[in-house]
């Protein structure tokens, strides 16, 4: 990314930009919404995917270990994916100094669409993979379907995040606070 046109505002440190694209930063602070880079979108998606994956795997592992049926296991996995997905952004903006109520609003605005698309795609892949819903934690099929679902979800969610960030939405909302 060309940084030669970067503004000279000294209120930001290099940490402000770590893991985030300058286009989203400038779109948020200047009120002009330029397209986000693919790198920015991929980083935002990976951030979201990390929280989702932790929650999803934990939920699937808990439900499977407790011998729950497919529906309650999937509900738990999705709920935990949202919880962990939101928590990554929540903790980052709380560290940046936002109060809890504001931080929750930012996390919801930043991650809801990304997590929802990711969960829809990932769970559809798992549900449509023959035998995956009945696989146990020790089965390779369980992990192949889950990890394959994450890979496909990443590929589908990244363009969604690129579009949203380029319009000052999604992860760009969180970026304005850290």
Nearest alpha carbon to residue 56 among 156, 130, 150: 150
Contact indicator for 118, 97 with CB cutoff of 8 Å: no
Which residues of the chain are under the pLDDT cut of 50? 1-33
Helix/strand/coil (H, E, C) string of 57-118? HHHHHHHHHCCCCHHHHHHHHHHHHHHHHHHHHHHHHHHCCCCHHHHHHHHHHHHHHHHHHH
* pTM as predicted: 0.74
pLDDT at residue number 7? 39
pLDDT at residue number 133? 83
Cα 96 to Cα 100, 112, 164, distances in angstroms: 11, 20, 22
pLDDT at residue number 32? 42
């Amino acid at each position: 990314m060309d940084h030669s046109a970067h503004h000279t505002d000294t209120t930001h440190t290099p940490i402000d930009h770590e893991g985030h694209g300058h286009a989203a930063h400038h779109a948020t602070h200047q009120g002009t919404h330029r397209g986000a880079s693919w790198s920015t979108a991929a980083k935002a998606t990976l951030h979201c995917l990390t929280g989702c994956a932790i929650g999803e795997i934990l939920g699937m592992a808990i439900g499977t270990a407790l011998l729950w049926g497919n529906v309650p296991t999937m509900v738990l996995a999705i709920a935990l994916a949202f919880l962990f997905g939101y928590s990554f952004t929540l903790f980052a903006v709380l560290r940046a100094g936002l109060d809890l109520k504001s931080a929750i609003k930012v996390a919801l605005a930043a991650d809801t669409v990304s997590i929802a698309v990711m969960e829809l795609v990932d769970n559809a892949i798992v549900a449509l993979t023959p035998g995956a819903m009945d696989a146990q934690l020790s089965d390779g099929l369980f992990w192949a379907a889950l990890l394959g679902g994450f890979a496909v979800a990443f590929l589908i969610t990244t363009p969604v995040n690129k579009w949203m960030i380029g319009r000052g939405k999604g992860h760009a909302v969180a970026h304005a606070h850290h």
